[in-house]
Amino acid sequence: MYTLNPNLFIQIENGEFVLWDYNNHEQYALEPDYLNRLLEWSKGSVTDTNSIDKELLEANLLVREIPTEEKWGWDVLSHIFHKGTQNIPLTEKKLSNPDEWVDEYLDFCEGIIDKQPNLFTEHPGTIIELPKPDISLYEEGKFINVLKDRQTCRVFNGETMPLNYLSTLLFTSFGLIHGEEWNELSENGLVATGMRKASASGGGLHPEEAYLLVFHVEGLLPGLYHYRPQDHKLTRLKEGEFEDKMIDLLYDQYFSAGLAVGIFISGRFDKAWWKYQHSRAYRNVLLDIGHSSQTFQLCATALGYQTWITGAFQDTEVEKFLGIDGRTESALFFVGAGIGEKQGIDQRTIDRLISRK
């Protein structure tokens, strides 16, 4: 007869069962009778159809054809997110020509501009000046060599990074390399709702924030710092030797020891919530963080450094350590730079491999 739509989940909210059909982006407040009926269908105990089934069928909660079993390799949460954020049109109505498209977009932007969250994150702490970025440091590296030289390193030797290298690295990876204004917008009388950096970012929102763990940088006390692209300065958040703390936060990835600097990159969800209300924008935030990570790695490589990156860390503990709430802003990635051995596999791993043979 019929079968249950396989892409459903139920949430209990304000005294109601809210049923989500996450493939079709529909939600229903479900009366208990309807819920019970779905349960009966799920148990396979239905013998005769009734009037509720007719409604369930119309709403596509029951389907006529048994969907072919499609194997999904992760748990249901990722399936909900993947399917639930697919096929989201840019606008609700079909726009018949480019003028309508542009008008719709401009109306949308004008409608949200007064609710714009702060573009730049401010943290209390000691403001630290950085030397002027020295772009000439990039003059020697050939682009193709930089691309080839970037490789994940897992052996760092704790060598000190000069401060002008750190300053340049931060400026080109996370800074406003095009200046403070988004000229193309301001010259055309448009209000900038974002900014431009070396990496692309959805809507120019640049949700990424850089939190530096300084281990070995000339002239900077070891500690935790936040980078301020708006004036190319640092805010010192905590002083201290945090290498052991970092390794602990990174699920004991011991080969991160010896980095000159490590950076937790967080994502400001509140910026994305403001401009892109559908949870598809969560994808964009992750993509943006990935872009900034790649830019950081290429810049560090061009400056003669090795890099190591990880997405494996204790998120909540990291967020507590950084002093961010984990809700409007969440830690998403870690990138590090230092002088190393150009080895992706460290000696300990090689030795263990040999001893296991």
Ligand X SMILES: Cc1cc2nc3c(=O)[nH]c(=O)nc-3n(C[C@H](O)[C@H](O)[C@H](O)COP(=O)(O)O)c2cc1C
With respect to ligand X, which residue has the nearer C-beta, 67 or 311? 311
312 is a contact residue toward ligand X (CB under 6 A)? yes
214 near 222, Cβ under 8 Å?
Answer: yes
Strands 233-239 and 3-4: unpaired
Alpha-carbon dihedral 69, 72, 74, 78, rounded to 10 degrees: -100
What minimum distance in Å lies between the beta carbon of 350 and ligand X? 15
Binding pattern for the stretch 332-351 against ligand X, x by CB under 6 A and - elsewhere: ------------x-------
261 near 212, Cβ under 8 Å?
Answer: yes
What minimum distance in Å lies between the beta carbon of 298 and ligand X? 12
User: Is residue 60 helix, strand or coil?
Assistant: coil
152 is a contact residue toward ligand X (CB under 6 A)? yes
Give me the phi and psi of 247, to 5 degrees please: -60, -40
What minimum distance in Å lies between the beta carbon of 191 and ligand X? 34
With respect to ligand X, which residue has the nearer C-beta, 224 or 309? 309
314 is a contact residue toward ligand X (CB under 6 A)? no
Binding pattern for the stretch 172-201 against ligand X, x by CB under 6 A and - elsewhere: ------------------------------
With respect to ligand X, which residue has the nearer C-beta, 72 or 251? 251
What minimum distance in Å lies between the beta carbon of 260 and ligand X? 17
What minimum distance in Å lies between the beta carbon of 336 and ligand X? 10
With respect to ligand X, which residue has the nearer C-beta, 195 or 309? 309
What minimum distance in Å lies between the beta carbon of 294 and ligand X? 8
Binding segment toward ligand X, per CB under 6 A, in 26-34, 47-55, 214-222, 308-316: 308-316
Kindly give, in sequence order, each residue whose CB lies less than 8 Å from that of residue 9, ignoring residues fewer than 6 positions away: 19, 20, 22, 76, 80
User: Is residue 331 helix, strand or coil?
Assistant: strand
Distance CA 184, CA 231 (A): 21
Among 6, 89, 219, 311, binds ligand X (CB under 6 A): 311
224 is a contact residue toward ligand X (CB under 6 A)? no
What minimum distance in Å lies between the beta carbon of 312 and ligand X? 4
156 near 306, Cβ under 8 Å?
Answer: yes
272 near 202, Cβ under 8 Å?
Answer: yes
19 near 28, Cβ under 8 Å?
Answer: yes
DSSP label at residue 68 = P
Minimal CA–CA distance to 265: which of 201, 190, 352?
Answer: 201
Binding pattern for the stretch 243-282 against ligand X, x by CB under 6 A and - elsewhere: ----------x-----------------------------
- For residue 226, CA distances in Å to 232, 266, 310 come to 11, 11, 19
Distance CA 133, CA 164 (A): 6
Among 214, 309, 318, 337, binds ligand X (CB under 6 A): 309
Binding segment toward ligand X, per CB under 6 A, in 58-66, 204-212, 306-314, 349-357: 306-314
Distance CA 236, CA 223 (A): 7
Among 151, 183, 186, 316, binds ligand X (CB under 6 A): 151
310 is a contact residue toward ligand X (CB under 6 A)? yes
With respect to ligand X, which residue has the nearer C-beta, 152 or 164? 152
Distance CA 12, CA 23 (A): 19
164 is a contact residue toward ligand X (CB under 6 A)? no
Reported as type and span, the H/E element at residue 314 is none
Interface positions with ligand X (CB under 6 A): 151-152, 253, 309-312, 344
